[in-house]
Amino acid sequence: MQRRDFIFKGVGAGILTGIGLSSNVFGESFGNMAASGTAPFDLVAVRGGEAEVMFEKAIASLGGMQAFVKKNQTVVLKPNIGWDVSPERAGNTNPKLVAKIIEHCLKAGAKKVYVFDNTCDNWQKCYTNSGIEKAVKDAGGILVTGNSESMYHEVEIPNGKKLKKAKIHELILSSDVFINVPVLKSHGGATLSMSMKNLMGIVWDRQFWHKNDLHQCIADLPTFKKPTLNIIDAYRVMKKNGPRGLSVEDVVTLKGQIISTDIVAADAAATKLFGLEPSAIGHIVKGQELGIGTMNLDGLKINRIKV
Give 120-134 pLDDT, tens digit per residue: 999 999 999 999 999
The pLDDT of residue 39: 53
Sorted by where each begins, the domain ranges of the chain are 3-306
3-state secondary structure the chain: CCHHHCCCCCCHHHHHHCCCCCCCCCCCCCCCCCCCCCCCCCEEEEECCCHHHHHHHHHHHCCCHHHCCCCCCEEEEEECCCCCCCHHHCCCCCHHHHHHHHHHHHHCCCCEEEECCCCCCCHHHHHHHCCHHHHHHHHCCEECCCCCHHHEEEEECCCCCCCCEEEEEHHHHHCCEEEEECEEEEECCCEEECHHHHHHHHECCCHHHHHCCHHHHHHHHHHCCCCCEEEEEEEEEECCCCCCCCCHHHEEEEEEEEEECCHHHHHHHHHHHHCCCHHHCHHHHHHHHCCCCCCCHHHCCEEEEEC
Cis before 243 (ω within 30): yes
pLDDT of 219 > 70? The answer is: yes
pLDDT of 193 > 60? The answer is: yes
The one-letter code for the residue type at 53 is V
Rounded-to-integer distance, Cα 112 and Cα 216, Å: 33
pLDDT of 25 > 90? The answer is: no
The pLDDT of residue 40: 81
List of residues 6+ apart from 231 with CB closer than 8 A: 55, 97, 101, 179, 180, 181, 257, 258, 259
pLDDT of 248 > 70? The answer is: yes
Quickly state the pLDDT bin for 5 (edges 50, 70, 90).
very low
pLDDT of 16 > 70? The answer is: no
- What digits encode the pLDDT tens for the residues 101-121? 999 999 999 999 999 999 999
Query: Distance between the two ends of the chain, CA-based, in angstroms?
Result: 21
pLDDT cut 70: percent of the chain above it = 87
Strands 183-187 and 191-193: antiparallel
Q: What is the mean pLDDT of residues 288-298?
A: 97
Q: What is the CATH number of domain 3-306?
A: 3.40.50.11440
Q: What is the mean pLDDT of residues 220-227?
A: 97
Out of 3-7, 64-68, 74-78, which region has the weakest mean confidence (pLDDT)?
3-7
The residue ranking higher by pLDDT, 33 or 148, is 148
Q: What is the mean pLDDT of residues 235-263?
A: 97
Strands 142-143 and 177-181: unpaired
Q: What is the mean pLDDT of residues 247-272?
A: 97
Out of 31-45, 47-61, 62-76, 256-270, which region has the weakest mean confidence (pLDDT)?
31-45
Mean pLDDT for all residues in the chain: 89
Phi, psi (rounded to 5 degrees) for 215: -65, -40
HSE toward the beta carbon, residue 254, CA cutoff 13 A: 36
Identify whether the C-beta of residue 184 lies closer than 8 Å to the C-beta of residue 273. yes
